[in-house]
Amino acid sequence: QVIKCKAAVLWEANKPFSIEEVEVAPPKEHEVRVKIMATGICRSDDHVITGAMVMPFPIILGHEAAGVVESVGQGVTAVKPGDKVIPLFVPQCGECKNCLNTKGNLCSKTDLGANAGLMPDGTTRFTCKGKAIHHFLGTSTFTEYTVLHESAVAKIDSAAPLEKVCLIGCGFSTGYGAAVQTAKVEPGSTCAIFGLGGVGLSVIIGCKAAGASRIIAVDINSDKFAKAKELGATDCINPKDFNKPIHEVLMEMTGGGVDYSFEVIGRTDTMTAALASCQYNYGVSVIVGVPPAAQKITFDPMLLFTGRSWKGSIFGGWKSKDAVPKLVADYMKKKFVLDPLITHTLPFTKINEGFDLLRTGK
């Protein structure tokens, strides 16, 4: 049965979302149709609007969500109608090289590449005004109903509050995992976090959970400092308050650089600054923010020659299908908080206002 429902369609770049009636096709073999109950707004969605992340239009964005299975296609065994689930923008097929390797988590079935904007079979499940609408990262959560491949769905605790655990679908897991999984922050270490949005704050939660003794939060918006401190930052610095490069400030503050630095913005200048601010011989710098399309980094190779490590992290290094249910269970056991990451709760029709709040740093 085709479902008609509301969705926020982005018809072209740099325009607001348009709330439209869309038709959502039934799930095909190994697919799941999900009723989205809550979705978060992430800067990566905004990157598509501005062109910093290139995707085909028209498109239904959104990738951080939680919902309930409405129906399943043939051959689906992992979930059934009524199950609470979190969509996975990094799927876990369990068969590709990255899934089979203990160190890997970026499943090759991800939509970051060849088939961008379509289901794994190369088609779409969304139609609006007779036009095919593209999917986003295999998830597309800015709609009342969406269709996912079964490798991109994690079944979670039926008691979990969906309007909170939706953050485990991207922002929280991405930041927390960058600290505890990718960097493997150690007790007593010193960390610097560049960018204090939802993901940056989640890095702070991870650094604190890992036992870091000093957590330095860096942002050009000082309004973000109170929340950073609430979540575990020991120092907060605004690069605008200094007349020298921020990496020099951090070097002086820490007597030679931090053990771990995290770039959680998605800018090339801050990526290089984060690298330069970690200890020259054994410092580790992790790129967490999505890099802007068509931009390159130029840096002095001596920065790496002396021993630093520069790493990337997608979805916090977690194997999605394995990790998401466990992270939800940890939240239910109060091992970490999510409430401070939620600043506003809006009805779906006010999605454009939500993006305005994101862009103004609120």
SS (H, E, C) 214-226: EEEEECCCHHHHH
CA–CA gap between residue 249 and residue 277 (Å, rounded): 8
DSSP 127: E
> Model's pTM, two decimal places?
0.96
The answer to whether residue 247 is catalytic is no
Q: Looking at residue 152, what is its pLDDT? A: 97
CATH class of 3-171+317-360: alpha beta
Instruction: Specify whether the CB–CB gap between 47 and 266 falls below 8 A.
Output: yes
Separation of alpha carbons 221 and 236, rounded Å? 11
Of 44, 71, 189, 320, which one is the catalytic site residue?
44
Sequence-distant (6+) residues with CB within 8 A of 269 are none
Give the list of residues 6+ apart from residue 49 with CB closer than 8 angstroms, or none.
Answer: 10, 13, 14, 15, 61, 355
Range 183-312 classified under CATH 1.10.150.20: no
Looking at residue 110, what is its pLDDT? 86
φ and ψ of 133, to 5 deg = -110, 135
The pLDDT assigned to 113 comes to 65
**Can 42 be counted among the known catalytic residues?**
yes
Q: Which pLDDT score, from 0 to 100, does residue 114 have? A: 60
DSSP3 helix / strand / coil % (the chain, rounded to 5): 30, 20, 45
- The answer to whether domain 3-171+317-360 and domain 183-312 are alike in fold is no
Nearest to 46 by CA among 362, 360, 358: 358
Question: 23 has which bridge partners?
Answer: 4, 127
Whether 47 is catalytic: yes
Six token digits for residue 282: 């054994």
Q: How far apart are CA 317 and CA 57, in angstroms?
A: 29
- Other CB atoms within 10 A of residue 186 CB: 12
Helix (H) and strand (E) counts in the chain: 11, 15
In the residue annotation, 44 being an active-site residue is answered as yes
Catalytic residue (choose from 47, 134, 135, 149): 47
Per-residue pLDDT for the chain (362 aa), expressed as one digit of tens each?
999 999 999 999 999 999 999 999 999 999 999 999 999 999 999 999 998 888 999 999 999 999 999 999 999 999 999 999 999 999 999 999 999 999 999 999 887 766 689 998 899 999 999 999 999 999 999 999 999 999 999 999 999 999 999 999 999 999 999 999 999 999 999 999 999 999 999 999 999 999 999 999 999 999 999 999 999 999 999 999 999 999 999 999 999 999 999 999 999 999 999 999 999 999 999 999 988 888 899 999 999 999 999 999 999 999 999 999 999 999 999 999 999 999 999 999 999 999 999 999 99
CA–chain centroid gap for 171, Å, is 4
Domain positions in the chain: 3-171+317-360, 183-312
Q: Which amino acid is at 35?
A: K
Q: Which of 93, 166, 170, 278 is catalytic?
A: 170
| Residue 159, pLDDT score | 98
